[in-house]
Amino acid sequence: MVNYNPKTVSTDYDEADRLYFENISLKTILDIYDTECSLSLILSMGGQTPNNIALPLYRQNVTIYGTSPEMIDTAENCYKFSCLLDKISVDQPFGRSSPALKRLSPAMNVVATGNDLINYLTQATAVPRDHPVVITKYIKQAKEIEMDAIAKDGKMIMHYISEHIENAAVHSGNATLIHPPQDLDPVTVRQIEEATAKIGNALNVTGRFNIQFISKDNEINAIECNLCATQSFPFMSKATGIDAIEMATKVTIDLHQLAVADHVLGVEMASTGEVACFEKDKYEAYIKGLISSGIVLPKKNILFSIGSDREKHELLPTIQKLHAAGYNIFVTTGTADFLQEHNVPHKASTHVPSTLSFNLSLRLVSRNPWARHVRHAKERILLHYALLNLA
């Protein structure tokens, strides 16, 4: 194993026969490959960096197990992947002439005006030409869905579907996922399964792969396909009790038997700080997840600072229920006017502190859409109902 991230290696350092704590680059991997007299490499258990050197390794006559380097490049190259989706009739956010979302690794920015676009494109001049700017349409109020699957020679043999609580545009690594999905229409689920099968077949995938979809009004759009490790894959293994990594490895190297693996899966992903929790419904699972993460829930005081009118109306029923359950409602000026109109008792505050003690109050709604703990209306409503269950 080659891994230079201490977070991911610290808990699993003894899993491999030999661990190289080295930076992943073409030269380093070739040196290790020669030193170990290796017969092949597996790239799909790593992240983005191994995929970036798939083609250069292939050109150096390195044998790579799993999906071919040419197909890895097709999935990684936004233009090639877009053309592939068009060819197999899988919808995607309209992008090549509709500037709305500028995707520039490692940043992603929402562009609302012509001046915004000029500003961000000016910044992009500092980016190497082999990392072009990609512009796609940003779909508002859409749900993001994760599809984790395993395929053999392009044929899908198993899959997991999970849904994000937050609306689309929150990075998967920061999102809150639920499995099995609770709010997806069966029509949407069927469309995602069919689209995944098409993409896996077109890329002739062997091993694990992940596809991110956007769904709105029972219409799905494929965002990207990752032929590498993703944050959701180990979570799905823990949630279902099925060691998907072992299955993907057997498929990748075409072996019928591997050494006996440890099938006892823990609750916390210690190496990344993520938490997986299990309960009878999504509300209790979510509240348990917050508590497991070290967040102390409010006992009597909750502060709201809600932005748009749409979110105010969306959250009104839960605010009313929280008040009825005995919570003291604190709000900022704009939210106070709204609650006054709807006869919800509250205490107005003209100042929102930058930090709040979670044993006294919890800042459920923030002017900052990327608030650390609770980011979007659906997530806030989920937490509200969970708090009501504790009241």
Q: Which pLDDT score is estimated for 373?
A: 40
More confident residue, 202 or 363: 202
User: Is residue 364 predicted with pLDDT exceeding 70?
Assistant: no
User: Is residue 72 predicted with pLDDT exceeding 80?
Assistant: yes
User: What average pLDDT does the segment 88-104 reach?
Assistant: 61
Q: At what angle do helices 309-324 and 377-390 cross, to 10 degrees?
A: 0
User: Is residue 111 predicted with pLDDT exceeding 90?
Assistant: no
CA distances to 102, 235, 342, 351 from 241, in Å: 38, 10, 47, 47
User: Is residue 28 predicted with pLDDT exceeding 90?
Assistant: yes
More confident residue, 317 or 141: 317
Q: Which pLDDT score is estimated for 171?
A: 67
Residues of the chain with pLDDT > 90, as a percent, come to 27
Q: Which two tokens stand for residue 196?
A: 């995944």
Q: Which pLDDT score is estimated for 21?
A: 87
| The 347-348 sheet, strands edge to edge | 347-348, 328-331, 301-304, 361-365
CA distances to 134, 153, 282, 285, 326 from 322, in Å: 43, 53, 18, 19, 7
The band of 128, judged by pLDDT with boundaries at 50, 70 and 90, is low
User: Is residue 181 predicted with pLDDT exceeding 80?
Assistant: yes
As a whole number of angstroms, the distance between CA 285 and CA 382 comes to 10
Q: Point out the least confidently predicted range of 81-85, 168-172, 353-357.
A: 353-357
What burial class does residue 254 get, using C-beta atoms within 10 Å of its C-beta: 0-12 exposed, 13-18 middle, 19+ buried? exposed
CA nearest 224: which of 120, 145, 280, 162?
145
Q: pLDDT digit string (tens) for 38-61?
A: 989 998 888 888 988 999 999 999
Q: Which pLDDT score is estimated for 239?
A: 79
More confident residue, 359 or 212: 212
Q: Point out the least confidently predicted range of 4-13, 254-263, 301-310.
A: 254-263
User: Is residue 274 predicted with pLDDT exceeding 80?
Assistant: no
38-43 contacts at long range (C-beta below 8 A, 24 or more positions apart): 39/63, 40/64, 40/65, 40/253, 41/65, 42/66, 42/207, 42/249, 42/252, 42/253, 43/72, 43/228
For residue 274, list its beta bridge partners: 269
Q: Tell me the average pLDDT of the chain.
A: 77
As a whole number of angstroms, the distance between CA 144 and CA 152 comes to 26
Q: Residue 23, Cβ neighbours under 10 Å: how many?
A: 11
Q: Point out the least confidently predicted range of 249-263, 283-297, 315-329.
A: 249-263
